[in-house]
Structure 1
Amino acid sequence: MAARVYGHQAAIRQFEESLSSGRLHHAWLISGPSGIGKATLAFHLARKLLGGSDLDSPAGRRISAGTHGDLLTIARKMDPRKGQLKGEITVSDVQPVQSFLHHTATEGGWRVVIVDGLESLNRFAANALLKILEEPPPQTALFLTTSAPGTLLPTLRSRCRPLALSGLDDADMRALLPDVPEAIMRRAHGSPGRALFLAQDRDGVCASLVARALAGETLDHGNWVIVTQLAREAEGFALLCDLLGEALADRARDAAFAGDLPLAADMAERACQLGQIRLQSERFNLDKAEAIREALALAH
């Protein structure tokens, strides 16, 4: 059985054309919105290079099991003390790439590195990766994924060949997620990951809380009980930030179209502030209940 990727066929063709030309670029920057399958595509391309496109082949099984000697994956690690992903990728996470690429390929072909979530690299890790990109060994391919290419070092971006992805079409979305309600599919904007993420809002509790805050309602004691409950849930805070951020962005866009530029600027600034609250809370493991209160205050 061959590994299947939904959508992104133009990006796959671009890669295959480069590969067949015999002049494959050593680094590919796969960018696009969260949840649209950037890492899935990276692994799909890695399988092509490592002879593992057939999932039932020896190479295919090793890639699936994470035991292929010529494939290294770098991503945010789990913090065992906190039971959640760390806020950033550090230089110690990136250091194994150097030794990996300077060893002979175990199967005599390509060596492939996948860095998933490039925007999570801290400054030292980004500089370490940049040095690797400047002098890559032969028969090396790096697939770097990011949801925020604008935050990356310009020098890092300039050393990569871009593969910019967009959301999946309705047919691919429905083929992947046949049981997700249509209302959620419309709000997912072609992102299967976002659709599954939004589906976690059981009974629409989080969406209702955001809507009331946006309407200027004063949140009573019962609402703050909900806030406390959301803070305890693994994705509660992220879900609220996502829904509120989308609403603020919609207001900014609507105000701009209406010619109300001061309001548009205000909404855009609030969306930026929300992003900072979310980033700092997740990176430094701050109190989620207090972070939710700060986020909801931006709605008024």
Structure 2
Amino acid sequence: QLEGMYGGDTSRKETLIDHGFRLKSAKDNRPLSFKEFNAKIGLVIYMSATPSPYEINISKRIVEQIIRPTGLVDPEVIVRPAKGQVQNLITEIKNRVKKKEKCLVTTLTKKMAENLSEFLQETGINVHYLHSEIDTLDRVEILKDLRMGVYDAIIGVNLLREGLDLPEVSLVGILDADSEGFLRSGTSLIQTIGRASRNASGQVIMYADNVTGSMKRAIDETKRRRAIQLEYNEKYGIVPETIRKEVKTILAMSIQQEPINNARAIAKRLSIPKKQYRSRHELSAIIAGLEEEMFESARKLEFEKAAMIRDQIRILQSGEKA
């Protein structure tokens, strides 16, 4: 995030300066570079569920907090073929409904989430979709209704951004898990898998025809943690217990709406007809600046914002080729 903050600001300013919209002195008002930031800090404790190679390599000592006080273990991860994934998902959801458990399903696009939600409703499953176009308060209400039993499942694009903490969820379904990208990176998959770790019956099903590098890393890490947790539970006679949490606490969860509003502003800004760009060079510079914003958003796990910027880049690139 530190590198992205500096890089995004620099890229944006350079684009404006190159095309005469800002003076060169505009670059002086900037965030610290990563090197400058490191020069100002002393001892550091890095805390992360998914540390990057940088943190691992620079640390003199690594402490893992894998054992949970509740005895809960990381969920079992199963890989099933993408062919027939929806029918299999229906069967799995209905099995959970019988036990009064809840499900989360992640898709790649908002349209897929809406279409799948509609299809599942036709099969008798009480389901709702969740994505960036739903207002914050409505989002909270939908998640509360899931916990209260109004819905059996939620279909979403990005199950990370909402800060979901739903102990009732025993199944997480990941459609098209082998589609490499923001939403299917190793880090994202590990965190998505974690959505089923608050329930003693937690299970994750990845639907894919191939096991990608990201999938393998996520599955291997989950298996490693799970093995340690199971061994500890057996050694001390611990029986995992599903977390019990009052429904009202869902109102305290952190929902970041601002990144999506920013993404919509970007989309609106870029909806100018391509003929209004002064030159092909200017268009290329704007695309380069947007790519920086896209990668910065991905690093911050703001995947829906990154996806919206990506779609705008594709529109501009089609104009560039024309």
Q: TM-score, normalised by structure 2?
A: 0.30
Q: Higher relative contact order at CA 8 Å, sep ≥6: structure 1 or structure 2?
A: 2
When the two structures are superposed, what TM-score results if normalisation uses the length of structure 1?
Answer: 0.31
